[in-house]
Amino acid sequence: MPSSPSISVVMPVYNGERFVVEAVRSILAQSRADFECIVVDDGSTDRTADLLTAEQARDSRIVVHRQPANMGFRAALNAGCALARGEFVARMDADDVSLPERFERQVAFLRQNPDVGVVGSAVQLIDQDGRRGRVKSYPLRSGLAAWSLIFFNSLAHPAVMFRRSVLESVGFYPAGRAGGTEDYAIFLEISRRSKLANLPDVLLLYRTWGGNMSHTRWQAQEDDAVRLLRAFAADTLGVDLTVDDAIALRGLSRDQYPADAQRAARVGAIIEQLARKYTERSSTRADADAIRTDAAVRLWLLSAVALRRGSPSASSALAAKAFGTSGSSVFVFGAKALRRVMRLGRG
């Protein structure tokens, strides 16, 4: 193992015997070889420990750290981060697969963009048997990635690479109540002081199956995400959101729309306010334009919702807000609506 690897991989695992070997070997197969792979065994009771011992014997770049008991995902993440020696810290889950060019591409991007603190990528979903499904893409521009955190988690956590200095500056992963929202919490925190970005290419195969934390604890995670968003909006942006406000904002990305026109109007006013805050914080005109366009598309959507809920006046007011935010956004909204109709038609 090199005395000072460029990259430290942090991979927590708990009872991961089914996929952990495949995950580890996808790290060992990277085109960039100057890494250490820190696997944190969080008190597994299955064959995980034996499998990791065998893999460690095959390659000295694998570092196995065993927690004294099952202490939880955040504790395992922070234990791995504390051991990391690399300039960059790559996240990895024990049931996913990193594609061979991942580290090479992400390190190159971070070296070329010193103001970016964390970079992710697109991911492709796979099932428990490794069959590939749809591709999930994320916002590429730094301003849009930060803005999008209002509505959804704009980076795929197992696909990200951090600067270790940025991780240390935020004190690693902050505490959460539910478990599983550590990624959302740290991305919000990093967005206060550094830039976020994503690469357009698929660099990770993301496994969805019954053992995923996101499958087993979704509602608890969503409740915690609402709490985190409200605290961030108040502390960082000076915007007070009610629980219903935060639920409504996050619901837009899951096709969960306000139940009446009055509610749609309130959500629209919040989006308009938040868009002003973010464009003021933008470091480039291109970032500000991307935020305005995205905000306006969401306002057009709410205008359509208000019309469907029986209020032409509220619909017209929201449409005016949308056009005032970004005049060209109507074409973007129209293209998105057309793609949606075509997908529904194929379904």
Same domain, yes or no: 194 and 274: no
pLDDT (tens digit per residue) in 177-231: 556 799 999 999 999 999 999 999 999 999 997 755 555 577 888 999 999 999 9
Same domain, yes or no: 264 and 324: yes
Same domain, yes or no: 334 and 209: no
- Note the pLDDT of residue 177: 59
Residue 270 lies in a domain: yes
Same domain, yes or no: 205 and 307: no
Residue 68 lies in a domain: yes
Same domain, yes or no: 50 and 103: yes
Residue 1 lies in a domain: no
Residue 306 parent element (H or E) = helix 285-308
> Would you give per-residue pLDDT tens digits along the chain (347 residues)?
447 899 999 999 999 999 999 999 999 999 999 999 999 999 999 999 999 999 999 999 999 999 999 999 999 999 999 999 999 999 999 999 999 999 999 999 999 999 999 999 999 999 999 999 999 999 999 999 999 999 999 999 999 999 999 999 999 998 765 567 999 999 999 999 999 999 999 999 999 977 555 555 778 889 999 999 999 999 999 999 999 999 999 999 998 999 999 999 999 999 999 999 999 999 899 999 999 999 999 999 999 999 999 999 999 999 999 999 998 887 777 766 656 544 534 44
Pairing of strands 195-207, 161-163: unpaired
Same domain, yes or no: 207 and 322: no
The domain in which residue 115 lies consists of: 7-218
> How far is residue 249's CA from residue 172's CA, in Å, rounded to a whole number?
27
Same domain, yes or no: 279 and 149: no
> How far is residue 36's CA from residue 19's CA, in Å, rounded to a whole number?
19
Same domain, yes or no: 33 and 140: yes
Residue 252 lies in a domain: no
For the stretch 19-44, what's the b/e string if a residue is b when 16 or more beta carbons lie within 10 angstroms of its beta carbon? bbbebbebbeebebebbbbbbbbbbb
Q: Which of 218, 245, 268 finishes a domain?
A: 218
**Full DSSP string of 208-233:** -STT-HHHHSHHHHHHHHHHHHHHHI
Same domain, yes or no: 261 and 324: yes
For the chain, how many structural domains are there in total? 2
Same domain, yes or no: 202 and 310: no
Residue 233 lies in a domain: no
Owner of token pair 């925190």: 189
| Beta carbons of 287 and 141 less than 8 angstroms apart | yes
Same domain, yes or no: 97 and 193: yes
Q: What is the domain-level CATH number for residue 119?
A: 3.90.550.10
